[in-house]
């Protein structure tokens, strides 16, 4: 499967997915760690991809999203943003609303 098709499949199959360095249990950078904490505070399950495990995916996703850094959070297939945006959304309460809505729609 072509790498862009892989990305599209991951986005279609997961209402909330985080492309990050490391895993939620063992983040490999501070930005990924803070983003995971913000997501976990929403109380919903989310998918993740450790971009350190796949160099091809890591480079292709930067082009796909036109976003040069990680982590990258996607909700309903749309790029929400990186750490700073996620943290701002978490602080305002918007992140929990968006994540809960996406997970609710997926399970409906």
Alpha-carbon distance 79 to 67, whole Å? 9
Alpha-carbon distance 62 to 55, whole Å? 11
Give the residue numbers of the binding site: 29
Q: Encoding tokens for residue 76?
A: 């309903």
Alpha-carbon distance 62 to 4, whole Å? 11
Residue 104's closest CA among 19, 16, 25?
Answer: 16
Give the residue numbers of the binding site for [2Fe-2S] cluster: 29
Cα angle 57, 19, 10; round to 5: 70
């Amino acid at each position: 499967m072509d790498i862009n098709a892989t990305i599209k499949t991951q986005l279609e199959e997961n209402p909330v997915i985080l492309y990050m360095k490391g895993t939620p249990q063992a983040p490999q950078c501070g930005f990924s760690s803070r983003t995971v904490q913000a997501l976990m505070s929403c109380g919903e399950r989310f998918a993740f991809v450790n971009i350190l495990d796949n160099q091809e995916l890591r480079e292709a996703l930067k082009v796909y999203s036109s976003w040069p850094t990680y982590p990258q959070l996607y909700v309903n297939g749309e790029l929400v943003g990186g750490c700073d945006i996620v943290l701002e959304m978490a602080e305002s309460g918007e992140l929990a609303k968006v994540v809960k809505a996406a997970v609710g729609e997926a399970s409906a």
